[in-house]
Amino acid sequence: MLSLRFIGFYFYMQQESLYIQDGHHQLHLRHIHQNQGGTPVLMLHGTIENGKIFYTLSGKGLACYLAKQGFDVYVADFRGKGESKPNLKQDAGHGQYEAITQDIPLFLDYIEQRCHQPMHLICHSWGGVLLASTLARYPQRCRQVASTLCFGTKRSIYRKTLSKRWTVDLLWNRLAPLLARKKGYIDAVKLKFGADNESLNFLHQSIEWVKPGKWCDPVDGFDYHQAAQSINWPRTWHITGASDHLLGYKEDVKAFIEESNAQATFSLLSKSAGNAIDYDHINILTHPYAIDDHFPEVARWLAQEE
C-alpha cells in the first residue's frame, strides 16, 4: 500500500514522499515533520492546482510552518495530480466523484492507521467542498477528524459581475470542457491559467456545483445537502481574503457554511481587521506576510484540540 520515494532535510525539517496504492493509481502524500509523534494534519488542494499550494521543498508554506510548530503534516495530491501516478496525460478517466468516494477516504484511513489519533484537515478552495462531501456521504468518518479549516472554500458562485461572467461562465463552464474534450483533460499548465491540469470528468462534475443549484452528486444523485443537515460536524473554521472577489468571495463562503450546516467560525483577512494586507485567493497561503500574520493564529487554533 505504501512506497517511500526519497527523504530530504530542509532546515532540520524532514520531507518524504509516501504513496498509497489503489489499483493502478498511486496517491501521493508529502509528509513534512520536524518532531516525532506530532498531531496529524492532512491538507487537501483545490482545482487546477496540487499539494504544492501548501509547501515548497525549501521549507516555505503553511505545511512547513506547521511542521516547525510540531505538527505531523501530510499534504495530498489527488488522483492524477501533482506527484500522484499516473498523471492526467496518462489516465484522465476519473473526476471529483473519485476524489470524494475513493481518494479522501484512502487518505483518512492511511493517516489514522499511521498516527492512531484524529487528524486536523486543512483545505484550499474546492478541496473544502470535496472534504465536506466525503463527510456528508460517510458521516462515520467524522470520528477521524479533529477539526476542519478551509481557505477560500465556496461551492456555488452567486455573485454576478463581469469577472464572473468572463472567468467562470465563459472560460470555466464553456471553453474549458471544449478544450478538454480531445485529450480528456484541460492542459491548464500549458494554457497558463492553473498550476496543474484537470480531467474532463472533473470539469463536468464540478461545473454542476459551481452553478447555483442543488448540492447533489451528478454521478449517482446522492443528496449531500440533505445528508449534511444531520451530521455532527467537527469544529470548523472558514477563512477568506478581502481581495478574493470571485473564487472565495466572502458571501459565497458564508452561503456554503449555511448550506452544509457546519456551524463554522468565519474570518475575513483584511487590513481593516488588522491583517498586513487584503489577501486574495492564492496569496492567502503563499504571501511572505502570512507566516507572521495569520499562520500563527492557525497553529494556535489547531492546538486548542490537542
Answer whether residue 235 is part of any domain: yes
What's the CA gap between 54 and 179, in Å, rounded? 28
| 306 residues of the chain, pLDDT tens digit each | 444 443 444 447 899 999 999 999 999 999 999 988 899 999 999 999 999 999 999 999 999 999 999 999 999 999 999 999 999 999 999 999 999 999 999 999 999 999 999 999 999 999 999 999 999 999 999 999 999 999 999 999 999 999 999 999 999 999 999 999 999 999 999 999 999 999 999 999 999 999 999 999 999 999 999 999 999 999 999 999 999 999 999 999 999 999 998 889 999 999 999 999 999 999 999 999 999 999 999 999 999 954
Answer whether residue 23 is part of any domain: yes
Structural domains of the chain, count: 1
Answer whether residue 211 is part of any domain: no
pLDDT digits (tens, 9 = 90+) for 15-26: 999 999 999 999
Answer whether residue 172 is part of any domain: no
Answer whether residue 210 is part of any domain: no
Residue 254, judged by CB atoms within 10 A of its CB (0-12, 13-18, 19+), counts as middle
Residue 248 to residues 129, 137, 173, 229, 289, Cα–Cα distance (Å): 12, 24, 17, 23, 20
Answer whether residue 60 is part of any domain: yes
Range of the domain at 65: 2-159+223-301
Cβ-proximal residues to 44 (8 Å cutoff; 6+ apart), any chain: 76, 78, 104, 107, 121, 122, 123, 124, 127, 128, 130, 131
- What CATH number is associated with residue 279? 3.40.50.1820
**The pLDDT of residue 35:** 83
